[in-house]
Structure 1
Amino acid sequence: MHSAQGRAADELLRLQDVHKVYGRSRNAVAALAGVSVGFRRHTFTAVMGPSGSGKSTFLHCAALLDRPTSGSVFLEGQDLTAMNERALTKLRRNRIGFVFQNFNLLPALNVVDNVTLPLRLAGRRPDRRLVNEVIERTGLASRRKHRPGELSGGQQQRVAIARALVTRPVLLFGDEPTGALDTQTALEILGLLREAVDGGEQTAVIVTHDPVAASHADRVVFLVDGQVSAELERPSAEQVATQMTRLGAWARTQRPAGVTPTDAERVG
């Protein structure tokens, strides 16, 4: 923990020598192979890589939805890998927000009830003023009583973002948050994420395959074969696409023996 505390004061999240291995012996697949990377407060980072590079595993380990095989994950200097499941669950409810590609809304609940669900699960009484503020910020004021089935995909993702923001998390994770949306709606959603970071409250880390989405980030981290292979600061979509083309060609020639395309798809 001391080494983490000695890092830059503005670093919110750090993965230190994180490994994640699925399976045993000859059937083992190394989804992450010693990832060390930090994320500064109030920044927006996109994580990209070819199929099988470990993006999804990276996100799950960074959020401790899945425990690393070895290595440490620090949030505000605290080693999350040393915490028990009960403490982790409480931390995730209070400090971390999640936005997924498939929205993960409860179909029987209206917008307000879906947004306030994390607070209720944590045993906290929703602050009506804060709930209203989040719903306004995400453009849902006229949809408060609608259920997910009565909303477009973009509106459902706005609900998911509002739900992620309502606990005032320090860290916001997105797993392909614009993957199921059309181009214009995706840009609107990215604008909301950008606003959450620029407002000074959140730090965002998203996994995406879309160079346009990545170009909205302050920084892009590229993974290949479970390792950080490159980074870009404030990139254009064209720069991201060029880097991805290079990495894709490199990854096809470097895939470890015994790792099949099916294995690669599983580790993200």
Structure 2
Amino acid sequence: MNNGTADRQVVRFDSVRKVYGSKNPVVALDDVSIGFDRGTFTAVMGPSGSGKSTFLHCAAGLDRPTSGSVHLDGIDLAPLGERALTRLRRERIGFVFQAFNLLPALDVIDNVTLPVRLAGRRPDKAAVRDVLERVGLGGRQGHRPGELSGGQQQRVAIARALITRPAVIFGDEPTGALDTYTASEVLGLLREAVQRWEQTIVMVTHDPVAAAHADRVLFLADGRIVDHLDRPRADEVAERMTHLGVWAGREALR
């Protein structure tokens, strides 16, 4: 790999292996090497038990590989202690989850600025206004999560992920709790963050329609990257997933 390629890669896995347990070991990731360039949108898909969650957790420093290395924004995560990892996640990573994970007692502004305040910094009011306008919540600053629709709550979560200008946003089924129309709006917003603001997004999803908003889809099976699609269409993704399900079932019978 040349230095120019490495410089563009916000997240990089080099021969990552993750094994759980020792008596009856389970290989969750098996020699995974992959890079994610700045300003790209990648979807990660695979059958149940394929290693998607472990992949995301290792990428975000929430779990440590058994072997191999993970670099995030040029930093090797392996030597970092828990305090340094927490600081890195707070400053360089945004998260968007299926369940929104908003604090019900806080209004929109306080939920969005929570990562900044946890880092001990005072939120920049102009930056907060800007990010709320970007996600279409300019008139909702004083509302609490219970006063918002599901789609609006996910927009708050996206604004919270964007406010620190992170190196990467990790999405874990970010549209899983939304109806089709609202999911399309949220995915369009993520797509816009990539195209207009060069944000890097890595999203785990089971939905071929959601995956079709990405630049690239990676398919995991049995802890390995077994296929990929560039500029994917939903029907192509669905077809690959169908084949993967059959393949994974045959592997389980071995």
User: Could you state the TM-score of these two structures normalised by the residue count of structure 1?
Assistant: 0.91
Other-structure match for 1:165:
162
Contact residue 73 and residue 167 of structure 2 kept, 8 A: no
Other-structure match for 1:115:
112
Residue 126 of structure 2 is aligned to residue 126 of structure 1 = no
Other-structure match for 1:12:
10
Other-structure match for 2:185:
188
Q: After TM superposition, list the pairs within 5 Å mapping 1:49-60 onto structure 2.
A: 49-60=46-57
Aligned residues: 254
Residue 200 of structure 2 is aligned to residue 227 of structure 1 = no
RMSD: 1.4
Q: 3-state DSSP class of the match of 1:116? A: helix
The CA distance in 2 between the partners of 1:243 and 1:62, in whole Å, is 24
The alpha-carbon deviation at position 221 of structure 1 amounts to 0.4
Q: After TM superposition, list the pairs within 5 Å mapping 1:27-66 onto structure 2.
A: 27-66=24-63
Distance 1:110 1:82, change over 3 A: same
Contact residue 59 and residue 72 of structure 2 kept, 8 A: no
Q: 3-state DSSP class of the match of 2:184? A: helix
1:147 pairs with one of 141, 144, 148: 144
Other-structure match for 1:261:
none
Residue 77 of structure 2 is aligned to residue 80 of structure 1 = yes
Q: Which stretch of structure 1 is more off in the superposition, 146-155 or 8-17?
A: 8-17
Other-structure match for 1:24:
22
Contact residue 4 and residue 74 of structure 1 kept, 8 A: no
Q: 3-state DSSP class of the match of 2:56? A: helix
Other-structure match for 1:266:
none
Q: 3-state DSSP class of the match of 1:141? A: coil
What amino acid maps onto 2:67 in structure 1? S
Q: Which stretch of structure 1 is more off in the superposition, 119-128 or 200-209?
A: 200-209
What amino acid maps onto 1:174 in structure 2? G
Distance 1:214 1:143, change over 3 A: same
Q: 3-state DSSP class of the match of 1:53? A: coil
The alpha-carbon deviation at position 116 of structure 1 amounts to 0.3
Show structure 1 runs of 5+ residues with no match: 258-268
Displaced runs of 4+ in structure 1, greater than 3 A? 3-9
Q: 3-state DSSP class of the match of 2:241? A: helix
Contact residue 221 and residue 230 of structure 1 kept, 8 A: yes
The alpha-carbon deviation at position 130 of structure 1 amounts to 0.4
The CA distance in 2 between the partners of 1:135 and 1:66, in whole Å, is 32
The CA distance in 1 between the partners of 2:92 and 2:7, in whole Å, is 18
The CA distance in 2 between the partners of 1:177 and 1:79, in whole Å, is 27
What amino acid maps onto 1:16 in structure 2? D
What amino acid maps onto 2:209 in structure 1? V
Contact residue 170 and residue 201 of structure 1 kept, 8 A: no
Contact residue 5 and residue 77 of structure 1 kept, 8 A: no
What amino acid maps onto 1:40 in structure 2? D
What amino acid maps onto 1:13 in structure 2? V
What amino acid maps onto 2:30 in structure 1? A
Contact residue 196 and residue 202 of structure 1 kept, 8 A: yes
The CA distance in 2 between the partners of 1:182 and 1:137, in whole Å, is 21
Q: Which stretch of structure 1 is more off in the superposition, 15-24 or 104-113?
A: 15-24
The alpha-carbon deviation at position 200 of structure 1 amounts to 3.2
1:201 pairs with one of 198, 201, 218: 198
Contact residue 194 and residue 200 of structure 2 kept, 8 A: yes
Q: After TM superposition, list the pairs within 5 Å mapping 1:230-245 onto structure 2.
A: 230-245=227-242
Q: 3-state DSSP class of the match of 1:82? A: coil
